[in-house]
Amino acid sequence: MSKVMIVTGASRGIGAAIARRAAKEGYAVAVNYVSSKADADKVVAEITGAGGKAVAIQADVSKEADVIRLFKETDEKLGRVDALINNAGIVVRMCRADSMTAEILEKIFAANVFSVFYCTREALKRMSTKNGGKGGAIIQMSSAAARHGGLPEESHYAASKGALDSMVAALAREVGTEGVRVIGVRPGLITTEIHNAHGGQALLDKAGPTVPIGRAGRPEEVAEVVVWLTTDAASYIHGTMIDVSGGR
Ligand code: NAP
């Protein structure tokens, strides 16, 4: 039977690339999305068209009840999860700290941090040997912004990703002896629609050449690393952050 992976926010961008790459690795993939049903269906069709297994599951991972349903639907449609990729994330919008609003903070921490705690909890119930599971891997999608502060007027985004870096270190100690590996991945500047929040393609064209490697990255370059981290080839990588950021 195929191993099962849940990728949150897999309708486009980095998540979609992870879902496609994971299916090639033999995973049956739960392609989660919040509103882009057509895009998620397209990712599923690409995977199944190539002989893989995938289902699209709508769930707003910032909402606890939706996350519980996402995992239940995955249990029913694909089986118990072996790998969880907490990829869904948002910028909301640019805002200096001296104008920060409760609305922005609530939105970003719900989508980027609370979601990761909800999904991690549901995964651990199924993966941890302490809970009767057979182990697994959990990847938290952080950002190089957690290290260097990110783009201007996005302290809310950088801080939400910094929370994940701390969580990786703490969680690794909790579950390392229960068969569950926890790793954080910090992409740098990657060409996706997330940048529509602060300049889109023009921003990517301007910032790309300033990255030490001389360009923005592709979603597939992140996906390759993420999927590898879930495999036995990475069996001793745990409780650490992996930068996929072209040197930035
Ligand atoms: P993206 O192209 O904007 O895609 C975001 C994905 O997340 C979409 O599939 C979206 O679903 C989903 N999503 C957003 N909120 C959600 C929610 N509440 N529940 C479920 N799904 C939700 O973003 P991306 O650039 O691929 O980013 C993926 C991750 O990498 C994020 O965590 C981001 O912070 C991180 N990252 C990105 C970069 C970069 O330069 N691109 C750099 C560092 C880190 P819908 O399509 O349905 O809206």
Condensed to tens digits (0 to 9), the pLDDT of residues 47-57 reads: 999 999 999 99
Segments forming the whole domain that contains residue 179:
4-244
Q: Which tens digits make up the pLDDT trace of 18-49?
A: 999 999 999 999 999 999 999 999 999 999 99
The reported pLDDT for the residue numbered 131 is 98
Counting the structural domains of the chain, the total is 1
Rounded mean pLDDT, 132-152: 98
Both structure tokens of 55: 């289902």
CA nearest to 138, candidates 178, 109, 190, 193:
178
The reported pLDDT for the residue numbered 6 is 99
Local confidence band at 237 (pLDDT 50, 70, 90 cut-offs): very high
Find the CATH number of the domain harbouring 222. 3.40.50.720
Tell how far the Cα of 131 is from the centroid of ligand 1, in angstroms.
Answer: 30
**What percentage of the chain carries pLDDT values higher than 90?**
100
For residue 244, pLDDT beyond 90: yes
Tell how far the Cα of 177 is from the centroid of ligand 1, in angstroms.
Answer: 31
Mutate to test the pocket of ligand 1, among 7, 39, 62, 90 (most ligand atoms within 8 A of CB): 90
Q: 171: burial class by Cβ within 10 Å (0-12, 13-18, 19+)?
A: buried
157 is known as an active-site residue: yes
Rounded mean pLDDT, 55-76: 99
- What are the φ/ψ torsions at residue 218 (nearest 5 degrees)? -105, 150
CA nearest to 85, candidates 64, 70, 72, 105:
70
For residue 1, pLDDT beyond 90: no
For residue 239, pLDDT beyond 90: yes
Local confidence band at 227 (pLDDT 50, 70, 90 cut-offs): very high
CA–CA dist 34, 197 (Å, integer): 17
Q: Where does ligand 1 bind, in terms of residues with CB under 6 Å?
A: 8-15, 32-36, 39, 60-62, 87-90, 111, 141, 143, 187, 189-190, 192-194
**What percentage of the chain carries pLDDT values higher than 70?**
100
Q: Which tens digits make up the pLDDT trace of 173-210?
A: 999 999 999 999 999 999 999 999 999 999 999 999 99
Q: Which tens digits make up the pLDDT trace of 101-141?
A: 999 999 999 999 999 999 999 999 999 999 999 999 999 99
